[in-house]
């Protein structure tokens, strides 16, 4: 029989948490990192004035990434590609997988709009040659082209229906955002996200040995930028 779990009372748990000292400067840097990575230019500027923390990138690049993400989230892939090239043409030139995914997203948008003739022509001229170069690209192209077999989005099976979801646009936008950040020698993910993942991992380990009050938190992607300004 396994030993019973230890029980950590709430008052003791709170006392231990209060003993952990985190400097205001470290918290401010975490907030600025989040605002920069997620593209909150106005909030980053205001927070910089309030806290004295300077971002590692210029504010103009933050706005550019935000505009690119918004273009992709509304399905305007060509505008996103143009803006990426205006920011740094080497990003797409040196990242064939990213460029393919942008072209794939463009194909998805044609299909979403019911522009079947344009979708077939675009797939043949732009994506088929790339699919011939890579088995991975070919598999993704075939999966995308399977959408054409269904007359309405409601008839698309779950195996490929995610391609038409807002999440697919967000996935592409996230990939572009990460590539731009990498080109600027920035982290691809907000440090706050990594810390919360570490917290979840630590809680899961502790849960195997003890009963304790869970840290109540909102998932970081749902946080409003105003809530992060300390």
Alpha-carbon torsion 134, 137, 143, 149, what sign? negative
- In this prediction the pTM is 0.71
User: Exposure string (b/e) for 15-32, b if CB count within 10 Å is 16 or more?
Assistant: eeeeeeeeeeeeebbbbb
- 107 plus 41 within the same structural domain: no
How far is 110 from 105, CA to CA, in rounded Å?
Answer: 9
- 115 plus 170 within the same structural domain: yes
Contacts of 6 (CB under 8 A, 6+ apart): 209, 210, 211
Domain count, the chain: 2
Residue 175 lies inside a defined structural domain of this protein: yes
- 112 plus 170 within the same structural domain: yes
Q: How far is CA 147 from the centre of its chain?
A: 25
Q: How far is CA 119 from the centre of its chain?
A: 27
- 94 plus 122 within the same structural domain: yes
Give the model confidence (pLDDT) of 172-229 as tens digits. Answer: 999 999 999 888 877 667 778 788 888 888 888 888 888 888 765 544 444 444 444 4
Residue 19 lies inside a defined structural domain of this protein: no
pLDDT beyond 60 at 44: yes
Residue 192 lies inside a defined structural domain of this protein: no
Token pair for residue 52?
A: 């004295």
- The radius of gyration of the chain from alpha carbons, rounded to an integer in Å, stands at 22
What integer pLDDT is reported at residue 229 of this predicted model? 40
Domain that holds residue 99: 68-185
């Amino acid at each position: 029989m396994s030993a019973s779990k230890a029980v950590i009372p709430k008052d003791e748990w709170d006392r231990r948490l209060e003993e952990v000292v985190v400097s205001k400067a470290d918290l401010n840097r975490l907030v600025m990192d989040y605002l920069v990575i997620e593209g909150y230019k106005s909030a980053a500027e205001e927070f910089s004035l309030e806290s004295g923390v300077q971002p590692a990138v210029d504010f103009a690049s933050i706005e550019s990434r935000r505009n690119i993400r918004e273009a992709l989230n509304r399905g305007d892939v060509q505008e996103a590609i143009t803006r990426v090239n205006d920011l740094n043409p080497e990003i797409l030139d040196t990242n064939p997988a990213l460029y393919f995914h942008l072209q794939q997203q463009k194909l998805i948008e044609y299909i979403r709009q019911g522009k079947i003739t344009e979708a077939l022509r675009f797939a043949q001229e732009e994506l088929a040659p790339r699919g011939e170069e890579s088995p991975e690209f070919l598999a993704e192209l075939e999966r995308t082209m399977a959408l054409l077999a269904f007359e309405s989005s409601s008839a698309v099976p779950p195996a490929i229906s995610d391609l038409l979801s807002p999440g697919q646009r967000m996935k592409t936008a996230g990939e572009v955002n990460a590539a731009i950040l990498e080109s600027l020698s920035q982290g691809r993910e907000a440090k706050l996200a990594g810390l919360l993942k570490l917290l979840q991992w630590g809680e899961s380990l502790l849960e195997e040995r003890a009963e304790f009050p869970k840290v109540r938190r909102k998932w970081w992607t749902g946080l409003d930028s105003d809530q992060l300004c300390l």
